[in-house]
Structure 1
């Protein structure tokens, strides 16, 4: 007989045996346990919270299931569905923009009187800033134009004009791609007068419904946002019919120097005459003040300026063009040079057509104000009288004009690039010209000596100290109407500081020449000078006194050019200075180029209007 199990000696007084109903599953059904958990371990071990077996399907639910609400789905589910829909819509929009390369292309349709309607695809409204846009009519034809809100201030800033020109090229390329020109080699070479078949001018876009145009309300707001066209109000241009084509030159420039602006102004006028465009000048934000404070108004066209939002910086085929120093590369860039250069010549004659454009502008626009023009005429006559030889029938003396630019402009010549052309080179070249002039004459002996005594130099420089140097101690100033003074001259003129005006006491002289930072800081207190360099003129509005001082500097500059160019028999200068190139235009082609009286001592360079 098998032995029986004796539990009487166990150390446990009692044993708890789980009821059969609660031990229905095998131990193996617990996923991570080898044996069932005891009551004690299940109370203190948290593993059962993660790996607890599901309730037996045969047992009744201890808690009744929640009843479905008859009112509809829970709010959280509605929000989730809405979020999914919005997310899908956003993803769809982003994919569409990335895949199709959409550029700011508004979705706007306008009904016309002839019941034709055009539609632009893309966004929902026109942009509220100036930008080129691609448009598509209902027939699916892609075009592009430039949208400038009619209520936007005119003129635009130099940065906005430059940005528009960059975007014009991008949008034009995009539209050409839509027409199948995906390979750049498939596109014809674009010359200066190429007309983009896909560009629609603003006026035409308004007529065709691609742009909304302006209504009667615009006529009221235009008065405050039309800029300041020189001579517009005085000459009654507003009462004339609108010009069919026009070119408006905006004088605002980030360049403190006056020379580049003058050269572009003259070229723009010549270009306008060549293309039979009406010409206007805007001086709303010119750093030198009003244009008429220095020059007389330009010739008056026989028509009025167009609506300001139709004046575009690009493309060049636009009916109403805006030109400024900010868009110089667009208007006077490589395509312009290729169009107007005489490519069959290798010498200076290559630049003759461009020179002629500038000369046309000079003859029409370089008319000084009523105070300075009579002075220049008297000064030129006075200087020419001084070279007259009264004894016998001898030849007269010679006037050598010398233009010296210092300041923040350095020569092209490599050995002097970090400094300036030495003054002795100017003086030596001046003596050589006098010798060459008299040696080529028929004078002999004492007659030649008499003529040489009546020869002299006239000097114009942005550096006041140049006039006191040994090299030019015997020379004359080109003009003495307005002089730039150094601090030393100011102190000599006003030894007693107690009697000086506060503004004069705080200002500095022009030692070393014209520096852009000094110009922009002119009239400011020395405390704020460090923060002023590089600021846009739209940020800092100069005081009336500062504008007046800047205007005086501009007047001195143009009077120097006028006297040097009109009174001199020859001019010595450095081509790195724009004033040197302007002098060549003032002298005339025959005298300056053919006779060789325009002498550049800054490297072996020929005349060029602009260096872009």
Structure 2
């Protein structure tokens, strides 16, 4: 009998401990890495941090919740390091709340719930303000017409890759449209300048963007979400992959739902402005007419060099052979010709002779201007006639720059003294991010001062995430020209009958989006790097089939 009483008592104590004991609030527990600002008014007897941070507050019921505090006077957008820090801190606070309160008992709730599970440990910034957990400001209160849900995409200051920015931009737009969020683009820190220098403005959402301090990088269930290159791992991480991938399929079919999101962004946002749009359409019309006269298709090739190296291990420290691109282009040509070959040529014995007759143009886009004059490529591309995808804006080599603007002599006449002054520097070898960020920089500036005229809009952070500095007019103009040349290449190549490229380059994955799903399925978009299928980030590997073991008999 005594044993039964003891067992019942132990059971009741256990139930009380896990289910009925009162919750101990974790009010406003600040990350230890953040300093305290004496300029902020106390909230609930606690002083707010001086920098943006994730912190714990108590809701009306006394439960501990985490939220995001961004000082209302902060510049928008924040530096990339601040957004990354907020999301990293939130993961720690979420685990602490799960351990110390009964609001969320399962510490591994992220592994048991999908992408759209609501984070019960989070309280939205506006809701935290309404209960007095965060300070409010009368002139920043919500008014009529403010979006109920939104996604703001911030173009990054530290990423020189235009292609990666496009993929992330289009994916964010497609996700926002699927979720019924208003979509906004912020270009105030973009390394390339103004978004509208390249594209028409995004479709109007029909509502007003919320106060800047209400826009948070995580969690995804937040009302007003911010996405950038620095926060993409939280928005487009493993949970996103599980939600939007056909996990039981292989190849391009695995990424089809994600592809559709990116394609939606492309269709609504890729609208070149001004004369560039007219030039791209007229250029492509000329190529189509040339191909029609020779009864052949229009095939394009994009060759990325510079600081992008192949995924294929054999060439990971070098570049793919040009013959590989040319061979794939001929394969597309044969496929297209077999589909449209006139009946008079169906019995041609030597198909190569017919290819020589066709003289179909091979449109070439590349970040390395020396590729266009490569004898190796011209020989490998036969019977194609290699032509530049666009000639409106061209990246210059050092030889071209020397002819247009000779460099100053490095040695004074009659003197042994050599001046250490940079000579003209071209794009030999391709696009390098360090060269891009050096565009327009004065040779003779010192102590971080540039003697050139500057413009206050847009301002950017440099790659190290330092203090925002204004772009000089020369820098803005040169970077804009590089971006426009890149987009013209994409616009022409992406509307051809077939494209060959290397998926290790973001440009190749962008071209897959421009070509369309049917082109991917039909093999008119061909990747020559490691045989990987299309994926928005290039991480999906090719399917490896098991092979029978080799038996050696003595």
> TM range, normalised to the smaller chain?
0.7 to 0.9
Contact 2:84 2:230 in 1 (8 A): yes
Aligned-pair CA distance for 1:456: 2.0
- Report whether the alignment pairs 1:547 with 2:547: no
Match of 2:501 among 550, 563, 573: 573
Alignment check: 8 A CA contact 2:29 2:57 kept: no
* Cα-to-partner distance string for 1:252-301 (whole Å, 9 max, x where unaligned): 24221111111000000000000000000000011101111111111111
Moved more, 180-189 or 600-609: 180-189
Counterpart position of 1:74: none
1:257 and 2:161 correspond:
yes
Cα distance, 1:538 vs structure 2: 3.6
CA distance 1:348–1:380, change in 2 (3 Å): same
- 1:103: how far off? 3.4
Q: Tell me: CA distance 1:452–1:271, structure 2 relative to 1, closer, same or farther (3 Å).
A: farther
Deviations 1:74-96 (A, max 9, x none): xxxxxxxxxxxxxxxxxxxxxxx
> 1:278·1:301 contact (CA, 8 Å) conserved in 2?
yes
| Native 8 Å contact 1:240 1:302 kept in 2 | no
Question: Within 5 A, what are the aligned runs for 1:428-439?
Answer: 428-439=327-338
Pick from 309, 312, 326 the counterpart of residue 230 of structure 2: 326
Q: Distance in 1 between matches of 2:112 and 2:265?
A: 30
Pick aligned residue for 2:515 from 587, 602, 610? 587
- TM-score with structure 1 setting the length: 0.71
Using the alignment, how far apart are the partners of 1:187 and 1:375 within structure 2?
50
Q: Find the aligned partners of 1:186 and 1:240 in 2 and give their Cα distance.
A: 36
Change (3 A) 1:185 1:192: closer
Q: Give the deviation of 1:433 after TM superposition.
A: 2.8
* Post-superposition offset of 1:200: 1.0
In the aligned structure 2, how far is the partner of 1:168 from the partner of 1:416? 40
Decide whether the 8 Å contact of 2:462 with 2:468 is kept in 1. no
Q: Are the aligned partners of 2:170 and 2:261 in contact in 1 as well (CA < 8 Å)?
A: yes
What is residue 481 of structure 1 aligned with on the other side?
A: 392
Whole-Å Cα distance in 2 between the matches of residues 434 and 529 of structure 1? 55
Between the aligned partners of 1:539 and 1:506, the Cα distance in structure 2 is 28
Structure 1: how far apart are the matches of 2:121 and 2:324? 56
CA distance in 1, matches of 2:68, 2:407: 61
Summarize the Cα distance change of 1:420–1:160 in structure 2 as closer, same or farther, 3 Å threshold: same
Aligned to 1:308: 212
User: Is the contact made by 1:521 and 1:533 (CA closer than 8 Å) also made in structure 2?
Assistant: no
Aligned to 1:95: none
Q: For the structure 1 residues 528 and 577, does the alpha-carbon distance in structure 2 shift closer, same or farther, using more than 3 Å as the test?
A: farther
How many angstroms apart in 1 are the aligned matches of 2:529 and 2:189?
A: 34
Q: In the alignment, does 2:313 pair up with 1:414?
A: yes
What is the rounded CA distance, in whole Å, between the counterparts of 2:445 and 2:247 in structure 1? Answer: 51
Equivalent-residue separation in structure 1 for 2:108 and 2:402 (angstroms): 67
Partner residue, 2:138 = 215
Question: 1:133-148, aligned counterparts within 5 Å?
Answer: 133-137=55-59, 139-148=61-70
**2:47 is matched with which residue: 103, 125, 129?**
125
Distance in 1, Cα, partners of 2:258 & 2:386: 34
> Aligned residue for 1:294?
198
Q: Give the structure 2 partner of residue 61 of structure 1.
A: none
Q: Equivalents in 1 of 2:175, 2:399: separation in Å?
A: 45
**Is the partner of 1:326 in helix, strand or coil?**
coil
What secondary structure is seen at the aligned counterpart in 1 of 2:180?
coil
Deviation at 1:494, TM superposition (A): 5.0
1:509 aligns with 2:414: no
Q: CA RMSD in A?
A: 3.1
Gaps of 5+ in 1: 1-98, 107-118, 220-237, 391-395, 499-503
Instruction: Determine the structure 2 residue equivalent to 1:199.
Output: 122
Given candidates 528, 531, 534, the residue that maps to 1:607 is 534
Decide whether aligned partners of structure 1 residues 171 and 579 sit closer, same or farther in structure 2, where only a CA change above 3 A counts.
Answer: same
Alignment correspondent of 1:470: 375
C-alpha spacing 1:194/1:139, structure 2 compared with 1 (3 Å): closer
Q: 1:556 aligns with which of 485, 489, 492?
A: 485
Q: CA deviation at 1:399?
A: 1.8
Q: Between 429-438 and 167-176, report the one with greater CA deviation.
A: 429-438
3-state SS, counterpart of residue 30 of structure 2: coil
Structure 1 match to 2:401: 490
Partner of 2:231, secondary structure, is: helix
**Alpha-carbon shift at residue 188 of structure 1 (Å):** 6.0
Distance in 1 (CA, whole Å) between partners of 2:438 and 2:234 is: 30
- Separation in 2, partners of 1:215, 1:302: 24
Shift of 1:240: 6.9
The alpha-carbon distance between structure 1 residues 337 and 139, as it changes in their structure 2 partners (threshold 3 A), is closer
Residues 287 and 537 in structure 1, CA contact (< 8 A), matched pair in contact too: no
Could you say what secondary structure the match of 1:541 adopts? strand
User: Which residue, out of 161, 168, 171, partners 2:83?
Assistant: 161
Measure, in 2, the Cα distance between the counterparts of 1:493 and 1:151. 48
Give deviations 1:28-57, integer Å, cap 9, x for gaps.
Answer: xxxxxxxxxxxxxxxxxxxxxxxxxxxxxx
